[in-house]
Structure 1
Amino acid sequence: MHCHDLADHLNLPKDARKIVLAGNPNVGKSVIFNAITGLYVDVSNFPGTTLDISHGMFNKDVIIDTPGVYGISSFNDEEVVARDVILGADMVINVVDAVHLERDLFLTQQIIDTGIPMIVALNMVDEAEKNGIKIDVDLLSDLLGVLVIPTVAVRKEGFDQLRQSIGSARPGLIDHHLKRKLTKLVDRVGNQGDALLILEGDAHVAQRHGLEPGTMQDSIYVQRRHRVNDIVGHVVRDTNQGASFSTRLGRWMIYPWTGIPILAAVLWAMYEIIGVFIAQTVVGITEETIMQGMYEPFIRNLLVPLIGQEGIIAKLLIGEFGVLTMTATYILGLLLPLVVGFYFALSAMEDSGYLPRLAALVDRLLTGIGLNGRAVIPMILGFGCVTMATITTRLLGSDRERRIAIFLLALAIPCSAQLAVIVGMLAGLGPSYIALYVAVIFIVLVVVGTVLNRIIPGESTDLLIDLPPLRIPRLENVVKKTVTKTTMFLKEATPLFALGALIIGVMQITGVLAVIQDAVAPLTVGWLQLPKETSTAFIMGFVRRDFGAAGLYGLNLTPLQTVVSLITITIFVPCIASAMVIFKERGRKEAVIIWVTILMIAFFVGGLVSQVLM
């Protein structure tokens, strides 16, 4: 789109310069637009979209606002509109957030690469100062090749200088390799902005010129990201001077020497709340006093006169693995308090802004075992639900990284419900057994990740993540998230638990369960050195991991047997829902390989620990 096209579409004066405001979402662009244009603003619908574009006069020029975007391309209506308006501009005022300079300068550099004259309004410099961020504005201007003006939009600071500097807009500095490629294509399309987007593979722009879209998007984006990172590394300096305590604490959380002790303190607090108070005190009341002491006798007394005590229906409903007894007790008496406690702690960490900092802290470790840095997010989400975390691996940059992440999620990341049961069982064993469990799972994760990193070709990429302000969690938000996630757990888990109890009950009545227990006795009794009955828990684990873990809860195990069984059930094959997602994401052949391999690793590692220590 050229200047006269833009004027026609938005009904603008033909001889007026088109000054376009561009920037990421929530950078204060609209405040600057309103301050420059005053009260006289027109709104026009942009052709072919449902989006409205605001524009107003500044002297003899027209100021045009655009939707907040992270790039100019054809990914959605907002980016299409921003792209076409920016390409039709005479100059651009790019508003960037001083607190998130590394994120916002990617769009800045992309606009610079179009060759359009521009000015950068460095907004929220006051917030940057509060966060202890010092920015060398003059050096930033030199490295970008355009004028940079500090502003504070909410207080209208820097606006006078911004208005006076509009005539000083100029094209910025472009990477010389990209410049050579653009020069060759500009002769064919007549416009550097169009040439850039064609190279980046924008099909709409390429079609306008009768050309095939380019295939250089990845290489251009990687080079642009490296350039932005280099600029930020030179102009931004973190300092504690003027920074609030929350800002300093947020920084301590991502540096290893301080972040690891903070992480240890967070985990200790979670252990005291979930593993000690909830698992021992609360579950003692809900499982033993309420469910086993009151509910189960009530339901048996209610149904025995109707269905008897020894019949098939009675055994399926109120027997040892009864749908109305064991299932209800496991879900409501054992799992529900633990899951509520775990989701409450997870929601509090999420609402406080700690989870992204935890991702940054462990990024280097996970990169070392072959994961894309962004994979820390699916890994963290896996502690909530492995099924959903497996789906989010689609966000990773390469098929190699998705394969590694999915395998490790299925292998060694327990979901919230399973982890809650594990914490509850480990709580009464003492620190040495807890350390043994954590060490074994960690070693398995590292060893398998390292092996996958070696045998699957390719490299991991860098972690790019926003760190939100650190704040005290809002109780309302935390409770709402906890209730929502717990409700989803109950809706998903209850039918599967009932189905699992029904299957186990039928197997017990028909004698199949005893046959299986005897058949796998060399594995469970001989290799794992566990009671024969633990095979029932592993069968439960095929339905849901936490169902299998809960099946171990009532067995009479020694502390070491408890650790061995928990190690095995943690590494054990994923639940039905996760397995189905893996089949969908990776295909039948690879999913079967993953499933069988994990099953073998689980029993090998569990048996190895048992044989060595017993």
Structure 2
Amino acid sequence: MSMNHNPVEGMHIPEGAKKIVLAGNPNVGKSVFFNYLTGMYVDVSNFPGTTVDISTGKLGEDVVMDTPGVYGVSSFNDEESVARDIILYADVIVNVVDAVHMERDLFLTQQIIDMGKPVVVALNMMDDVVRNGLEIDVKKLSEELGVEIIPTTATRGEGLLEVKEAISRAKPGNRIAEVKELIDSVIGQVDTESEALLLLEEDENIIERHNILESKQKREHIYKLRRTRVDGIVERCVSQKNSGATLRSKIGKLTLNPLTGIPILIGALYIMYLVIGVFVAQTVVGITEEVIMGGYYNDFIMNTLGTLLSQESFIGKVMVGEFGLFTMVPIYILGLLLPLVVGFYFILSVLEDSGYLPRIAALVDRVLMFFGLNGRAIIPIILGFGCVTVAVITTRLLGSKRERFIATMLLGLAIPCSAQLGVIMGIIAPLGLGYLMLYTGVIFLVFAVTGTVLNKILPGKSTDLLIDLPPLRIPRVGNVLKKTYNKSVMFLKEATPLFIIGALLITVMQYTGALESISDGIAPFTTGFLKLPAETSQAFIMGIVRRDFGAAGLNDLVSRGLMSSSQIIVALVAITLFVPCIASIMVIFKERSIKESIMIWLSSFVLAFLVAGVLAQIIV
């Protein structure tokens, strides 16, 4: 007995609207098609019951939905489960295919066709086809698949209009005959032919959704049939005009070889540091936070609202106090975070569009496996050095809850953000290379040991790295800017409410004296176990508000000559490992469960004092 269950109904699709779904492998350029079809009217939200973001927009009266990049319609992780549910209940599929990697991408195409869905295929990246010396018989390919095939180079806008016009002509394609017979044999157990195919492919979600006790185990057989068909299609429709590796392919191979790839990665990270850590974090933020927001804007607010409200009253503190809704919140978000977020998303979009980001993931995959992560985790780790708050949000791209927990724990514990890192480097530089190596070594050791232990004790197994390595290419400025804009706007929508809540919480704690009580409470640990001045406890508490506030508090103690060199290192280790700032904490509670979030918060608190205390007993 089947039960009609449509998860897409939870996404508020207007009645009567067709669901036009973009589907394809990772890094095939779906976002360009989505932006073209929907224009600026885009909504980004979590898919019901998951942390996976789904973009939706309007095309006339119909709804366009973008799906996560997947290699097949299945449910091996959250992204694939979301893509499966959206594709299952789509009315039309626009399947974007990388023309250079058809032997891989057409596996998904044929699966969608076997579902009986109306399909239009956008054969994208045709410029790479020319560069790689390939020739594709598009007419023959269309006859083989039984659907309309439109050659495109989306980054140049070529073929986009033709794809849009072809949507109304979408039709089901040529199914594999034996697969169609198998579908007909089980169709009575489910609601649709699409679900029947996934039932045959042993999709656990479909089996559970329809309370099916016994099902035909045909996954391997169907996969072999599909693989054989796709290989035959590619053989008949694709030919090589000339051989020999291009310069880009040679560079691509160099990025994957550890002997050459690691120096290239170090160089890329250094350039990223110069752009984000030096230019944006220091020059741009110096203008936006200190001059524009901290100067002109703050003066305007204090000369208007500040004269109407008593800053000693509770309402005055909430509105225009040190952590006020009209003072700290907009200054912090627009003056500090927004430039950093825009900078990081710009660099990330450049790495993504150039095809280098997947190669970084492949290069570091073996190392991150020791910590229960795969190569994709390098993205939030890199982002964490800019802003841990942003990095926690990007853990959504990891394949399992286990990996997301490990990555979030490591981000909150051992990755200093750029604002904090700048102050730390300023404090530690005069101490010499030896102390810098000691500090770096301790933080890396904590990162490695924590990741290794979590990998050993957490139940389950992390996912393997399944990632496409697209050809290296020069990024398109327009595409990079669109991605940067969309992701930055999404961050503002998600982060602003959290900052407001955090500011209110801190203001209440300050007004009631709770902040001072907490500072007094940890003072005995600071002076006893950590062997630091009592005033250091105040720096730790301010670090909860903003990480760089805590580091700045330590800098003040150092400038007053209240700490020795060894005490400075202990203090810096403690402030780095201490609990994340209030903004990061709020995002962690949003992204993880309450139980996991509390565990991450408490673990950071305990480990910060434990590691710094042990270090103090050794060197102070």
The equivalent residue for 1:605 is 611
Q: Is the 8 A contact 1:540 1:548 kept in 2?
A: yes
The equivalent residue for 1:458 is 460
The equivalent residue for 1:572 is 578
Bigger drift between 192-201 and 455-464 goes to: 192-201
Q: Map 1:432-447 to 2 at 5 A.
A: 432-447=434-449
The equivalent residue for 1:56 is none
- Quote the sequence identity (%): 42
Code of the residue aligned with 1:407 in structure 2: it is M
Q: Distance in 1 between the 2:125 and 2:312 partners?
A: 73
Question: Structure 1 residue 370: deviation in Å?
Answer: 1.0
The equivalent residue for 2:246 is 243
Is 1:81 the counterpart of 2:91 in the alignment? yes
The equivalent residue for 1:595 is 601
Q: Map 1:123-522 to 2 at 5 A.
A: 123=123, 127-128=127-128, 185=186, 195-200=196-201, 212=211, 220=219, 241-245=244-248, 248-272=250-274, 323=322, 336=335, 340=339, 343-344=342-343, 347-353=346-352, 354-383=356-385, 385-387=387-389, 389-390=391-392, 393=395, 396-422=398-424, 425-426=427-428, 431-466=433-468, 469-471=472-474, 474=477, 477=481, 496=502, 500=506, 503=509, 507=513, 513=516, 519-522=521-524
Residue deviations 1:322-359, cap 9 Å, x none? 8399x989997999579746852552243343444433
Code of the residue aligned with 1:410 in structure 2: it is G
Question: Structure 1 residue 613: deviation in Å?
Answer: 3.4
Determine helix, strand or coil for the equivalent of 2:557. coil
Residue deviations 1:486-526, cap 9 Å, x none? 9787996588569747855875xx9x84x765653442233
Residue deviations 1:139-188, cap 9 Å, x none? xx9xxx999xx9966899xxxxxxxxxxxx987699xxx99987974899
Structure 1 pair 427/300, CA: closer, same or farther in 2 (3 Å)?
farther
Q: Distance in 1 between the 2:220 and 2:88 partners?
A: 20
Code of the residue aligned with 1:197 in structure 2: it is L
CA RMSD after TM alignment: 6.6
Q: Is the 8 A contact 2:322 2:328 kept in 1?
A: no
Structure 1 pair 526/134, CA: closer, same or farther in 2 (3 Å)?
farther
Determine helix, strand or coil for the equivalent of 2:534. coil
Q: List alignment gaps of at least 5 residues for structure 1.
A: 1-21, 31-48, 54-67, 87-93, 157-168
Determine helix, strand or coil for the equivalent of 1:106. helix
Q: Distance in 1 between the 2:185 and 2:487 partners?
A: 57
Determine helix, strand or coil for the equivalent of 2:85. coil
The equivalent residue for 1:539 is 541
The equivalent residue for 2:531 is 529
Question: Structure 1 residue 396: deviation in Å?
Answer: 4.2
Question: Structure 1 residue 218: deviation in Å?
Answer: 12
Code of the residue aligned with 1:256 in structure 2: it is P
Structure 1 pair 530/591, CA: closer, same or farther in 2 (3 Å)?
same
Code of the residue aligned with 1:367 in structure 2: it is M
The equivalent residue for 1:105 is 106
Structure 1 pair 493/198, CA: closer, same or farther in 2 (3 Å)?
closer
Q: Is the 8 A contact 2:338 2:488 kept in 1?
A: no
Structure 1 pair 440/195, CA: closer, same or farther in 2 (3 Å)?
same
Structure 1 pair 108/419, CA: closer, same or farther in 2 (3 Å)?
same
Q: Is the 8 A contact 1:542 1:574 kept in 2?
A: yes
Q: Is the 8 A contact 2:406 2:454 kept in 1?
A: yes
Q: Distance in 2 between the 1:184 and 1:280 partners?
A: 66
Residue deviations 1:94-137, cap 9 Å, x none? 98423344762331452586799xxx999568644566598999
Question: Structure 1 residue 538: deviation in Å?
Answer: 1.2
Structure 1 pair 501/200, CA: closer, same or farther in 2 (3 Å)?
same
Q: Distance in 1 between the 2:300 and 2:193 partners?
A: 79
**TM-score normalised over the length of structure 1:** 0.59
Determine helix, strand or coil for the equivalent of 2:90. helix
Q: List alignment gaps of at least 5 residues for structure 2.
A: 1-21, 34-59, 74-82, 160-172
Residue deviations 1:411-468, cap 9 Å, x none? 2234454445445555665554444333322221221111111112322222234556
Q: Distance in 2 between the 1:429 and 1:301 partners?
A: 43
Q: Is the 8 A contact 2:256 2:362 kept in 1?
A: yes
Determine helix, strand or coil for the equivalent of 1:75. helix
Q: Is the 8 A contact 2:281 2:418 kept in 1?
A: no
Question: Structure 1 residue 535: deviation in Å?
Answer: 0.6
Q: Distance in 2 between the 1:218 and 1:330 partners?
A: 56
**TM-score normalised over the length of structure 2:** 0.58
Structure 1 pair 111/554, CA: closer, same or farther in 2 (3 Å)?
same
The equivalent residue for 1:6 is none
Code of the residue aligned with 2:604 in structure 1: it is I
Q: Distance in 2 between the 1:268 and 1:125 partners?
A: 30
Structure 1 pair 441/134, CA: closer, same or farther in 2 (3 Å)?
farther
Q: Is the 8 A contact 2:502 2:582 kept in 1?
A: no
Q: Is the 8 A contact 1:202 1:214 kept in 2?
A: no
